[in-house]
Amino acid sequence: MIFAIAAPAFAGQAADALRPNDIITINVAEQPNLTRKYSIDSEGRLTFPLIGHVQAAGLTAPQLADELQRRLKQGFFKDPQVRVEFERTRRVFVFGGVNAPGMYQMTEQMTLMEVLARSGYTGATEVIIVRSKGARAPALPDDKAAEVIRVNVRELERELESGQLSRNVVLDDGDTIYVPRFDPNRVYVSGQVRTPGAYSVADKTTVFQALALAGGPTERASLGRVQIMRLVDGKQKTIKANLEAIVRPGDTIIVPERYF
């Protein structure tokens, strides 16, 4: 499995350096209109009154204070005194087969299933968590210094449904979650079901369970004539199947319309 991510511009900088999306407090002595909280944007820039854009990510708080002080002194104040304090934003990153990939600010005790729900997880069987202590940017799965955690999401969902919460992974600051775009455990459901499409299935999923994933059969469905199209030894075969038949990854389940 290969994931391509551009190297972050802020990697390799000091651990106490400011970074995109940090919230900072800037205090300019005797200037109450300038003294308040500011946010560094996703490009690493600070927008400051009178000055405009300042590249803040990569600088430490004292370095940013010196830069603001220098610029304010150039044409606005005789001897400005600037102090910068920052609040570190805790966040995780989600990439791959989700509707809204990107960075997510962490809530207290945020779990894997919570961030998958927020990012629009589309049903892959397995996801990968790359955990790199002190990471300020997305970590790659081949990072030798990182811990790689593989999670079978289908098994986790079943456990949560039965009230077992122990394996719902609690995320750490800086975790990167990769969701495969292609799920080898998908089957395709077509015909007289309410929501035809591709669905990720667990081992030993039956035809009946696959139909349930697709919203269930319509009123016009002929459940006694369900067929499975399956690739066997490189050849496409059509198999008559009952509702208790076990499906295989790659199967196409066809629910025909019943005769009247």
Q: What pLDDT does residue 108 have?
A: 80
Residues 224 and 257 sit within 8 Å (Cβ to Cβ): no
Q: What pLDDT does residue 15 have?
A: 58
The dihedrals phi and psi of 20, each to the nearest 5 degrees, come to -55, 140
Architecture in CATH for domain 186-255: Roll (3.10)
Residues 205 and 251 sit within 8 Å (Cβ to Cβ): no
Burial of 10 (0-12, 13-18, 19+ CB in 10 A): middle
- Closest C-alpha to 3, from 99, 131, 138, 125: 138
For residue 191, the cross-strand partners are 255
225-243: b or e for each residue (b if 16 or more CB lie within 10 Å)?
Answer: ebbbebeeeeeeeeeebee
Residue 161 contacts by C-beta under 8 Å, 6 or more apart in sequence?
Answer: none
Q: Which residues of the chain have pLDDT under 50?
A: 1-12
Q: CATH topology of 23-87 equal to that of 91-179?
A: no
Q: What pLDDT does residue 13 have?
A: 52
According to the CATH classification, is domain 91-179 in 3.40.50.2000? no
Which pTM was predicted?
A: 0.51
The hierarchical CATH code for the domain 23-87 is 3.30.1950.10
Q: H/E/C letters for each residue in the chain? A: CCCCCCCCCCCCCCCCCCCCCCEEEEEECCCCCCCEEEECCCCCEEEECCCEEEECCCCCHHHHHHHHHHHHHHHCCCCCCEEEEEECCCEEEEEECECCCEEEECCCCCEHHHHHHHHCECCCCEEEEEECCCCCCCCCCCCCCCEEEEEEHHHHHHHHHCCCCCCCCECCCCCEEEECCCCCCEEEEEECECCCEEEECCCCCEHHHHHHHCCCECCCECHHHCEEEEEECCEEEEEECCCCCECCCCCEEEECECCC
Domain boundaries, the chain: 23-87, 91-179, 186-255
Tokens of 150: 């593989």
- Closest C-alpha to 207, from 225, 220, 182, 219: 225
Q: What pLDDT does residue 105 have?
A: 84
Q: What pLDDT does residue 46 have?
A: 94
Residues 223 and 191 sit within 8 Å (Cβ to Cβ): no
Q: What pLDDT does residue 208 have?
A: 95
